[in-house]
Amino acid sequence: MEDVVHLFCKCQVASTILSNPPFNLHDTILPSLNFKEWMLERAVTLSPDSFARLMMMIWAMWKNRNNMLWSGIQQTAQDMLLSSFSWLDEFQKAQGGVKKPQVLLRPKWKPDEHGALKLNVDAAFLSSTTKGGVGGVLRDASGRFVAAFASPVGHAASPKQCELMAIRAGLDLLVSLQVQQVVVESDSTMAIAEALCSDYTLLANGGLIDDIRCAMQKIPSIRLEYQPRSSNMVAHRLAGIGFETGNSCVWLGLAPACIRDVLNHDYQYLH
């Protein structure tokens, strides 16, 4: 598995292929965090046909890498696309019959298995105005509402910066509530990668990341993890509320009416 991640992160051919049609993954970083999580997100965001082609390209890039190592033979990105897609088309034709519709199981929110509180955060961003919004929801190990927040962001340079602001705002709430054990989840792999980067001082968001690190040090037990959008819907709603209303709100103990439907949607899958 580590070899596959290394192949993706270091291979210019992989970047070229995945950032162009039919994948168009230019807004998604290569799997530098966790290859299994990255593949799971692709499975729920790509169409069944595109995901099948992605699997073929992973196999083609792995084969190309081995051919280069052992035989000194290397294909171009274009050659790999044509050969692997042609092979897939021939295979699908050979199977015959009508394709059965595939039911994709999207990951749902679930509480921490070790009993910690869980904070989900998200951000909304409009590049044309550099305006954004952040939001987050805190729930206990039974899935019950504890607290939430929604705030506008007057200026942000990028979606990633806005996602980092959401993480920082969530941590500020946790510190104010004196939370001792918590898991913080975001659906931005790029923001998490920067927040957990060992050498962040020279990054464009270095000051913001330093604020995040300082806040994390005030919480005895904390983990920052990735979760796909499908299990981060309450925070997504709150970020939109912060973006639209332009007001900062914090709710404690009783969930606001604006998110009760998505909270109940998550809760019903736990029982």
Task: Calculate mean pLDDT across residues 92-114.
Answer: 72
Q: Which amino acid is at 52?
A: A
Start-end of CATH 3.30.420.10 domains in the chain: 117-268
pTM comes to: 0.63
| Measured CA angle at 57 (ends 53, 63), to 5 deg | 145
Burial 83-104 (b: 16+ CB within 10 A, else e): ebbeebeeeeeeeeeeeeeeee
Tell me which of 44-58, 123-137, 153-167, 190-204 is least confident: 44-58
Whether the predicted pLDDT of 2 surpasses 50: no
Q: What is the pLDDT of residues 227-240, one digit of tens each?
A: 988 889 999 999 99
Interatomic CA distance for residues 32 and 38, integer angstroms: 9
Q: What is the pLDDT of residues 50-91, one digit of tens each?
A: 788 888 878 888 887 788 888 888 777 777 767 777 777 777
Interatomic CA distance for residues 261 and 246, integer angstroms: 22
| CA atoms within 13 A of residue 7's CA, in its CB half-sphere | 18
Q: Which CATH architecture has domain 117-268?
A: 2-Layer Sandwich (3.30)
Give me the pLDDT at residue 175, please: 97
Whether the predicted pLDDT of 162 surpasses 80: yes
Interatomic CA distance for residues 268 and 244, integer angstroms: 28
